[in-house]
Amino acid sequence: MTEASVRTAASTIRQLAPSDAEAFREVHLEGLKAHPAAFAMAYEEECDRPLPEFRARLEQLAVFGGFVDGTLAGIATLQRQPLQKRRHVAMVWGMYVRDAFRGSGLASAILRAVMARAEAEVDQLELYVAVGNDRASRFYKAMGFEPYGVMRRSLRVDGVDHDAEMMVRMFR
C-alpha cells in the first residue's frame, strides 16, 4: 500500500489513473447534476466532453477516488497552485460522494488521503463550500479546516447567486 492509497474496512482509496476515466466521468457528472450550487463546473459544460479529456485530467491532476466493492463511489481533486508565489498552497475541489455512501466514512477516508498528499507537498490546503451546505461545512471543520471568509456571489446557478465559505487547513 502506498502513501496515496489508504484502506478502510469496506473501501479502497487511491489516486485515479487514466484507466479510471470512464468511472470518474460518471461520478463527476452525477455530482454536478445533483448538486449544481456545490461545484464551480457546470453539468451542461462537462457532459459533452469526450472521454479523452477526462483521461487527460487524470494524467495532469491528483484525483483521489474511493472504491467500494470495486466501484468508484466518491472523488476529490487536489490541485497545487502553479504560480511561484502560491506554490505553497493547494486546493481541494470537486469532492463528491454518492448518496448511498454518505455517512459511511468514505468521505473522511478520501479527504484524509488528499490531506496526506497535500501535507507532504504544501504548507496549506484550501477549499470552498457553498454557504448553506451545513453538513459539508461541519465535515470540513471536523477534518481541521477553518473558515477565513466568504466569497460573495461566488457562483450563479440558474440566475440565483450563491456565496462560498472559504476554508483552510494549515500544515506548517
- Which spans in 65-151 are helix H? 106-121, 134-142
Q: Per-residue pLDDT for 8 more than 60? A: no
Cα 49 versus chain centre, distance: 19
Q: Per-residue pLDDT for 59 more than 80? A: yes
Q: Per-residue pLDDT for 130 more than 80? A: yes
Q: Per-residue pLDDT for 11 more than 90? A: no
Domain ranges of the chain: 6-170
CATH 3.40.50.1000 matches 6-170? no
> pLDDT (tens digit, 9 = 90+) per residue, 138-166?
999 999 999 999 999 999 999 999 999 99
Count CA atoms within 13 Å of residue 66 on its CB side.
Answer: 27
Nearest residue to 77 via CA among 97, 62, 58: 62
Report the alpha-carbon distance of residue 65 to residue 77 in Å, rounded: 9
Residue 23 φ/ψ, nearest 5 degrees = -65, -40
State mean pLDDT over 25-48: 96
Estimate the crossing angle of helix 21-34 against helix 51-60, to 10 degrees: 100
- Strand, helix or coil for residue 66: strand
State mean pLDDT over 60-69: 97
**What secondary structure, in 3-state letters, does 112-126 show?**
HHHHHHHHHHCCEEE
Dihedral (C-alpha) 12, 145, 172, 17: value to the nearest 10 degrees? 30
**What's the pLDDT at 89?**
98
Look over the chain and give the mean of its residue pLDDT values, rounded to a whole number.
94
- For residues 165 and 147, is the Cβ–Cβ distance under 8 A? yes
State mean pLDDT over 109-128: 98
**What's the pLDDT at 9?**
46
Residue 26 φ/ψ, nearest 5 degrees = -60, -50
> pLDDT (tens digit, 9 = 90+) per residue, 71-82?
999 999 999 999
Cα–Cα–Cα angle for 79, 131, 99, rounded to 5 degrees: 70
pTM for the whole thing? 0.91
